[in-house]
Chains A and B, each alone.
Chain A
Amino acid sequence: QAVVTQEPSLTVSPGGTVTLTCGSSTGAVTSGHYPYWFQQKPGQAPTTLIYDINKKHSWTPARFSGSLLGGKAALTLSGAQPEDEAEYYCLLSYSGARPVFGGGTKLTVL
């Protein structure tokens, strides 16, 4: 099974910009992996922020954006707010195989 890698932790200043990445042990992440990004706050269920690389749901704050960057999927937060402090997970789909979650990135806004 493929391994999906994320930064274990990142810190961003309020109002600052941070990029979280999501890599695959099988090689470059492409549109064919249909990258998803989820946010999970302590004690809560996850919520879906981004799907298919960069598509947003109606509830996704505009300050979040998704992209492919340097062979990885990326989630960029521009103008971080205290309420953005959370765990972020990516999910990659593999043709003919099961989808795999990354280990998560704990984002601190400080």
Chain B
Amino acid sequence: EVQLVESGGGLVKPGGSLRLSCTASGFTFSNAWMDWVRQAPGKGLEWVGRIKSKTDGGTTDYAAPVKGRFTISRDDSKNTLFLQMNSLKTEDTAVYYCTTADVGAWGQGTLVTVSS
């Protein structure tokens, strides 16, 4: 069974940092391009960023609102995707999902709240 499980969300003050994790199972994680997508309360889906598989270069790309503040990485030996979020702003408050188009899977999401 394909599964993505996010963790690491929580309450953080503006300017703070948080690292999200996404553990994958049921498919060949190392071959997959992985995305982070977020959803602010009551709003639509917003693409955050992507990391390609190492065989495709392992490069990353980010949406403009998070570029320079967020970093996506992966540990293929642990089937885990990461999202390092720095200099957090109140507008980063959202449920963060990891997803992969390769197998059409989504995690259940983890809530990040940025508030003083």
Contact = CB atoms under 8 A, between A and B. Distances in A.
Contacts of B11: none
Interface residues of B, number: 19
Task: Specify the main secondary structure of chain B where it touches its partner.
Answer: strand
Contacts, number: 46
Contacts of B64: 1, 98
Contacts of A104: 44-45
Contacts of B37: 46, 101
A98 B63 contact: yes
B101 to A, nearest CB: 7
Interface in B96-116: 97, 99, 101, 104-109
Chain A interface residue bracket vs B = 20 to 34
B47 A100 contact: yes
Interface string A94-110: 00001111111000000
Interface of A: 1, 36, 38, 40, 45-48, 51, 57, 87, 89, 91, 98-104
Q: Which 7 A-B pairs have the closest CB atoms?
A: A48-B104, A101-B45, A104-B44, A57-B104, A45-B106, A99-B47, A103-B44
Interface of B: 37, 44-47, 50, 61-64, 97, 99, 101, 104-109
